[in-house]
Amino acid sequence: MEKVGILTTFDELNPGAFLQAYSLYRVIEDLGYVPILIHHKTIPYLAKEFKIYFLNKNPVYIMDNIIKYHKFRSLWRHLQISPLFFSLESLNKYLENESIKTVVLGSDEIWNFKNAIGANIPAFWGYGLNRVRLLTYAVSFGSVSMNDKFPNFVIKGLSKVRQFLARDFNTKNILEQKFSKPSLIVLDPTFLWNFEDDAFVRAYSKIIINKDKKYCIVYGFFDSVWGKYILDFCTTKGLTPISLFYRNNWCKVNIIRISPFDWIKFFKKAEFIITNMYHGIIFALKYKKNFIFQLTPYRLNKISTLIKLFDIDRSMVESPQGLYNHYDYNTTLDYGSIDRKINELKNKSLNALLSSLQML
C-alpha cells in the first residue's frame, strides 16, 4: 500500500492538536493508505515550545505538563511516526528512503505564521520539500488576515501545493484571493472519525467518571471575572464546574493531567460545556451538548466558520454577564439540523480527501 506522510503539529500538549492528527491518520488508513506522521520542527520552534511547557516559575504548571507529556507519549508510540528531523535535508532524505511520495499538510492552523509559539516551520507550507506531491487537508491560517505581510517561505511553499482543502472561510479566501489557488471547505478531521467505535481509544480511556454527578466542563482559560459568573451559573443550575486540561485557579475542581482520550470521555459525559477553544466547540457538537462559547479575537477566523456552517451563534456570549441572558439552559440547539449538516459535509470531506489522494 502507498505511504502517505502527514505533516502537522501532532505532539503539542493540546487535546485538539493530538486528536485532529490522530483522526486524519485513522481516516487515511481507512482509505487504504499507510499513514506516517512526519515529525519535523526547527530548532528555534522546539526551543520556544520547550520554554513554554517546562521553563516556568510555577512548579505545579511544570509538573502538569510533565505528566501530560508522558500520557500523550504513551499514545504516540502506537502510531507510525518518523524520527524527529530538524533539517530539511534529513527530512527529504527520509521521505525518499521511505518511498513517501505524497505528503498531506494539515490539519489545524499550521499556517498561522503569527502563532503563539513565536517561531515557524517553513515545511508546513511545503517550502523545501522535494520530490513529493503536496496537498492540504483542513489546513488553517488561524489568526492571519488577508492584509498581513506573508513571509517569502509561505509564498514559495504554496506554489508547490497541488490540491487545497481548507478548514475555514478565512483560509479559503486568502488562498483564492491572494494566491489564486482554488480551494474547498472541509471539516476538521475530528468530525470524520468515530471515537466510540475505535478499540484503541476505548483501551486507553481508563478514567472512571461518576455517572450520578452532573457537571459542567470548563475548557479554556477564563479570568477571575468570567470565573465568578461561571461559578454562579453552575450553582444556579445545580452543576459541578470542572476545569478540564487547563488550570483555572478560581475553579475548585481542576482535572488537568489526563490523556486526549480521557478528555473525550469527560466531554461525552458532561451535562453542560463552557469553552473558548475550537475543538471544545467541535466535541460539544459531536456529543450534542448544551454549551456556551466565548469568541476570542485569536480564534475568530476559525470559529466563525463553525458558526456559519452550523448556525450556533446563539450559543455565543460576548461577556461573562451574558451567561444568564444569552442562553436558556433548557433550550437545546437544533441537533437534528446540525447532524444532517455534519453528515453532509463529512461525506463531501471524505470524498474530497480521497479524490485528492487518488488524483495525485
Residue-wise pLDDT for 266-300, tens only, equals 999 999 999 999 999 999 999 999 999 999 888 98
Query: 198, 126, 211, 193: which is closest to 162 by C-alpha?
Result: 126
Q: What is the pLDDT of residues 319-352, one digit of tens each?
A: 888 787 655 555 578 999 999 999 999 999 999 9
* Nine-digit cell string for 281: 466547540
State the cell numbers at 149: 505581510
Pairwise CA distance, residues 175 & 181, whole Å: 5
In the numeric block, which cell numbers belong to residue 2? 502507498
Q: Which stretch of 185-189, 223-227, 321-325 has the lowest confidence by average pLDDT?
A: 321-325
Which secondary-structure segment (H or E) carries 45?
helix 43-54
In degrees rounded to 5, what are phi and psi of residue 110?
Answer: -70, -15
How many C-alpha atoms does 104 have within 13 Å on its Cβ side? 30
Q: State the fold for domain 209-329.
A: Rossmann fold (3.40.50)
Angle, vertex CA 283, rays to CA 108 and CA 322, nearest 5: 100
Q: Which three cell numbers stand for residue 286?
A: 459531536
Q: Between the CA of residue 200 and those of 69, 79, 209, 352, what are the distances in Å?
A: 19, 11, 19, 26
Q: Quote the pLDDT of residue 318.
A: 84
pLDDT at position 210: 77
DSSP character string of 205-269: ------TT--EEEEES---HHHHHHHHHHHHHHT-EEEEESS--TT-SEEE-S--HHHHHHHHHH
Mean pLDDT of the chain: 93
Residue 29: band (very low, low, confident or very high) from pLDDT cuts 50, 70, 90? very high
Q: Are strands 34-37 and 102-105 parallel, antiparallel or unpaired?
A: unpaired
For residue 310, count CB atoms less than 10 angstroms from its CB and return exposed for 0-12, middle for 13-18, buried for 19 or more.
buried
DSSP type of residue 149: P
Q: Are strands 133-136 and 272-275 parallel, antiparallel or unpaired?
A: unpaired
Nearest to 274 by CA among 209, 318, 234, 216: 216
pLDDT score recorded for residue 330 = 55
What is the mean predicted confidence (pLDDT) over 124-129?
96
Neighbour-count burial of 123, counting CB atoms closer than 10 A to its CB (0-12 exposed, 13-18 middle, 19+ buried):
buried
> Which DSSP state fits 355?
H
pTM (2 decimals)?
A: 0.95
The residues that bridge with 291 in the sheet, in sequence order, are 273
Cβ–Cβ under 8 Å, residues 134 and 127: no
Alpha-carbon separation of residue 33 from 9, 18, 26, 116, 225 (angstroms): 20, 20, 10, 33, 49
Q: Which residues of the chain does CATH 3.40.50.2000 include?
A: 209-329
CATH of domain 3-193+344-359: 3.40.50
**pLDDT-derived band of residue 360, with 50, 70 and 90 as boundaries?**
low
Burial state string for 257-296 with b = 16 or more CB within 10 A and e = fewer than 16: ebbbbbbbbbbebbbbbbbbbbbbbbbbbbbebbbbbbbe
